[in-house]
Structure 1
Amino acid sequence: MAFFIAFILALVTKPFLNSSLCKGEFDFFKTYVVYGVGGSIAISVIVFWVFGGYQLSTESGRIDEGLPIVFRIWALTMAVYFAGIGLAVAKIKERTRSPLMSLYISLLLLSMVALVVVSMFIGMIYSVVYGVTLFVLYRTVWEKQLFKGELKQDS
């Protein structure tokens, strides 16, 4: 089941990265506070509510066996989500004129990169499945085009 979630995340990566949120079309408050904090809370509740009960009912019923799998699913989901939020915040940083806000966003991006790396490390097997699926989709279905407006490369 968890590998299926990694596959689904790879399928929704392109539409998510091409959304107006990840393009940085919103202001900083709406992007970081509303979508970043609110979205991560919503994703956390959904993942632990849906998959937590599923893992505990299909495994032996012991929390110490089912919960780590749910935690790895959550870590991978949050890594993909924070990568998109980080991309949006980076695009907002390009438009920012205030040096203090630019410094704050730089520190924020540094912490987001650390969170993404740690999350990918926690769910390493699922991250590998996600990465391989993303690579195959990029090379075949998406025809080497991840973002809208990206030029196709002829090989």
Structure 2
Amino acid sequence: MKKGKQLLLGLLLFILPLVLIACSQTSQKTYTNGRDEVIIAYKGDTVETVTLKSIRTYEELGVTSKKEAQRVMDNIVALFKEYDLEFQLKTEVTDKDTAYILTIDADEMNSSEFKKMYLLPGVDDFTSLKEVEETLKLGGYEEKK
């Protein structure tokens, strides 16, 4: 009987760390509307970060030169800097299009500062995976497999 308890305890001590590691890992889901991508990093039903990747041609931006396109990207950066938020924003301008990648923490997205910008109308709790996914689907986004 004592050996059985020791074996069970040993097995639990071996399995428990594996379960804890598996539960603590961040997963990702990607949604697209055909031109933009939203990448959600989450644990369980809790969103940790949201990344938006967007590419626009010069024509879509209403510009004709790389210099004008760069000015548009600079304005996007300036817009985000007006708000008291922590985020990562990378921009790139090529000879034919522009791209930006915005990554922001879900807790920041729940702040009143971010809600002033309101990039995803209809989301009250940006830490809820279910709520963010439902809003994206309503906005025409589909999960990318």
Q: Sort the TM-score into its range (normalised by shorter chain).
A: under 0.3
More helix by share: 1
| Richer in strand (by share) | 2
Higher RCO (C-alpha under 8 Å, 6+ residues apart): 1
Structure of larger gyration radius: 2
Taking structure 2 as the reference length, the TM-score comes to 0.27
